[in-house]
Structure 1
């Protein structure tokens, strides 16, 4: 039986494809295409401050874009703040 060995697409590439292009996504975020390219490099990730906006624009989850952040904790605290507003 042959397993599917399709290469894993970088979550930022997926986000750019969903948004239309890397250039368009960079403009929407107010950053350069060079910044996006830096974020795609091995060992790097999307800065935490940009991940929620990318998720909102493309549906690619913060957890994929910036895995070093405990997004479940962030999301819970945002819900609590919204409940008390």
Structure 2
């Protein structure tokens, strides 16, 4: 049992930490996967959610923006992009 736990721990530590790149509709997912394949980037697909290695996340996002690949906004970004109306008086 101890040897099995050591082997499992070894594989768990060896696996890179993955970060969600975004959740995409089917028509948005195809160009994103094509881009990742062309750039030879390792990714994990879980339903319509694409995850990439967290160490490469920022460079992948930048590369996608530069190449014009559609990107899904994350739920956290939506809150920041909304006009909250601070400083605006009601009429």
Tell me the TM-score range normalised by the shorter chain.
0.3 to 0.5
Q: Indicate the structure with greater helix content.
A: 1
TM-score by length of 1: 0.33
> Which protein has the larger Cα radius of gyration, Structure 1 or Structure 2?
2
RCO higher in 1 or 2 (8 Å CA, sep ≥ 6)? 2
TM-score computed with the length of structure 2 as normaliser: 0.32
In terms of fraction of residues, the more strand-rich structure is 2
